Chains A and B, each alone.
Chain A
């Protein structure tokens, strides 16, 4: 990270605080984006777009509320409303898929993470984001429901169904887990 203190003088303190909070969230935004779309480069593009949108919309952020939830809301709305169609198309490109797998195998820690991401990619968008928010992002059902703009019961159902589906993909034969992570 570049030195955050070296910005131009005269910037308003409120904007400074907003900016540093936003930048501190970058790793989490990248993780959520990666889970959402699977492909590292597209995920980072999504993060950058989200940051610019958040910055532009900073006046609509309520101080004291969760900026993480706020940015994740911006991100998933942008992803589902604007990018979903493109993603479906590019996913079918075998060369891109191959490159992505190689990149992941070297960047991350082996086949198990890849298996999980691939399984995640097979889930419907709504279930995938529900699992990411509640299972990995540390959000409660209520927070996740607010982020996705659905009732809490719907969120619980998506998590439960997503969980079942993920298990079915990862462990096709009951009692003999094909997937485990130490």
Chain B
């Protein structure tokens, strides 16, 4: 979660985004990273769809030959 702000140097703000980099106290990540992470995590937490059954079977049966 702390990715963006810890890696962004002060003063290296891109023109037009200054308001965003100062957003949020402490080292909270900016809003856009929150949203992306939430989008990403929402898929990570989905159960694996049935369409993967064949793939899993194939891998299970694959020999290391």
Residues of A at under 8 Å CB distance from B? 1-2, 6-8, 10-12, 14-15, 19, 22-23, 26-28, 30-32, 34-35, 44, 48, 51-52, 55, 107-109, 112-113, 116-117, 120, 131-132, 134-138, 140-141, 160-161, 163-164, 166-167, 170, 174, 177, 179-181
Q: Indicate if the CB atoms of B20 and A167 lie closer than 8 Å.
A: yes
Residue in contact with A26 in the complex, picked from B14, B42, B48, B64, CB distance below 8 Å: B48
**Inside 8 A of B19's CB, which chain A residues have their CB?**
174
**Which residues of chain B are within 8 angstroms of A132 by Cβ–Cβ distance?**
36, 40
B17–A164 CB distance below 8 A: yes
**Total number of A-B contacts with CB less than 8 angstroms?**
122
Tell me which residues from 1 to 60 in chain B have a Cβ below 8 Å from any Cβ of chain A.
Answer: 3-4, 7, 14, 16-17, 19-20, 30-46, 48-49, 51-53, 55-56, 58-60
The interface of chain B, by Cβ under 8 A from chain A, is 3-4, 7, 14, 16-17, 19-20, 30-46, 48-49, 51-53, 55-56, 58-64
Query: Main SS of the interface on chain A?
Result: helix
Give every chain A residue within 8 A of B14 (Cβ-Cβ): 160-161, 163-164
